[in-house]
Every structure is written in C-alpha cells, then in structure tokens.
Structure 1
C-alpha cells in the first residue's frame, strides 16, 4: 500500500455499560480520542476536487467529530444510538467507527469505484492510557 492517510480527533460522549458491576455501570462520560489510518493503492478524486489526488477527504474521515445533531458522536448519549444501544464498550464503538467510516468513504467515491483496496484501522482511546484498535 503506497499511501497511508492518518487523522486524529476527539469527541465527548456519555454512556453506561449495561450490566457492568462497578462504576462503568453508572452514567459517565469520556473525551474519546480517535486515530484513523486509511491506506490505499491509488489516489482518487473527492467531492471537493475532481482530480485523482487524494486517498480520501479528511472531512469525510472526521464525521464522528460532528455534534450528534449533525450526525456525529460529539455530545451524544451513546446508549441511545441506534447502532450501539446498550453495548457501548470501546471495542463496540471502535468497530462501529470502522464500519461507518468505510461506508461514508466508499459512498463518496466515483461511480464504479467500490474502494476494494481501501483498508482502515481505528484506534479509540477512552482514557489517556486505555486504547482499543480495530481493523479488518
């Protein structure tokens, strides 16, 4: 893979880990830090430039940073999110970020480009020293 695009951002959200016997079973919040690493064998256009000069647009990758009212995860109560529900562990959130980010990137591609060469790795920190990574 000749290109690797990396970006990091944070978002603040609250959750409860349902059924957890301890403090995480009560309502609490995190400033989540996310690192996305997207690799590609080739460059593509984006919604903002029609030449083959990007792996993907950073705007597309940072969708989760947006406020929950704008379709992101910032200031969300994660247990009310339809794709997460009561399962709001770092592992489940990282897998969701992976799935949704790849869907959005592939949706932004030119017709006929399925983005089969794209590979994404998601790193999600709940605290400064606790991280989960997810990739396929």
Structure 2
C-alpha cells in the first residue's frame, strides 16, 4: 500500500459489562484513546475537495470523538448504544468503530469506486496499559 493515513483521538464514555463478576460489572468510565490507520493504493476526492488528493478526509475518520448528540461516542453511556447493547467490551467497541468508520468512508466514494483497496486498522485503548486492535 503506497499511502497510510493515521490519526488519534480520545473520547470519554461510561459503561457496565453486564454479568461480569468484578468491578467492570459496575458502572464506570474510561477516556478511550483511538488510533485509526487507513491504507489505500490510490488517492481520492473527499466531501470537501473534489480533486483526488486524499486517502480520506481526517474529519471523516474522527467521527467517534464527537459528542453523542452529534452522532459520536463522547459522553455516552455505551450500554444505551443500539449496536453495542450490553456487550461493551473493548473488542466489541473496536469492531463497531471499524464498521462505522468504513461505512462513513465508503459513503464518500465516487460512484463506481467500491473502495476495495481500502484497509482500516483500529486500535482502542481502554486504559493507558490495555489496548485492543481490530482489522478485517
């Protein structure tokens, strides 16, 4: 892959892991840190510039850092999220961020571009020492 776009951001959310026998079964919160790495074999236009000069727009990658009222995950009780429900482990959240980011990136592609060369890797830190990595 000739290009790799990387960005990092944080968001704050609360959750419980239903049925967990221990402290994670109680309401608690994290400052999640996310690193997204998107690779592509060619450059594309974005919603903000029509010339083919980007892998993707950084703004389209940082959607999750927005407040919950704006469609992001910041300051959300994650168990209320319809796609996460009661399974709010780092693994499930990382996979959701992957799916939603790819959906948003693909939504910006021009007609006829299926984005088959795009590869996304999501790293999600729940604590400074604990990270989950997800890719397809």
Following TM superposition, by how much is the alpha carbon of 1:102 offset from its aligned partner in structure 2, in angstroms? 0.4
Deviation string 1:116-135 (CA, Å, 9 cap, x unpaired) is: 11000000000000000000
Q: Which residue does the alignment assign to 1:120?
A: 120
SS in 2 for 1:103: helix
1:64-79 superposed matches below 5 A:
64-79=64-79
Following TM superposition, by how much is the alpha carbon of 1:63 offset from its aligned partner in structure 2, in angstroms? 0.3
Q: Does 1:36 align with 2:23?
A: no
Following TM superposition, by how much is the alpha carbon of 1:114 offset from its aligned partner in structure 2, in angstroms? 1.3
SS in 1 for 2:104: helix
Question: What is the TM-score with the length of structure 1 in the denominator?
Answer: 0.99
Distance across 2 between alignment mates of 1:38 and 1:78: 25
Q: Which residue does the alignment assign to 2:55?
A: 55
* Moved segments of 4+, more than 3 Å: none
* Superposition RMSD in Å: 0.4
Unaligned runs of at least 5 residues, structure 1 = none
Q: Which residue does the alignment assign to 2:4?
A: 4
Following TM superposition, by how much is the alpha carbon of 1:92 offset from its aligned partner in structure 2, in angstroms? 0.2
Distance across 2 between alignment mates of 1:38 and 1:117: 10
Q: Does 1:109 align with 2:109?
A: yes
Q: Which residue does the alignment assign to 1:13?
A: 13
SS in 2 for 1:52: coil
Aligned length: 136
Following TM superposition, by how much is the alpha carbon of 1:111 offset from its aligned partner in structure 2, in angstroms? 1.3
SS in 1 for 2:19: coil
Distance across 2 between alignment mates of 1:62 and 1:112: 25
Following TM superposition, by how much is the alpha carbon of 1:112 offset from its aligned partner in structure 2, in angstroms? 1.3
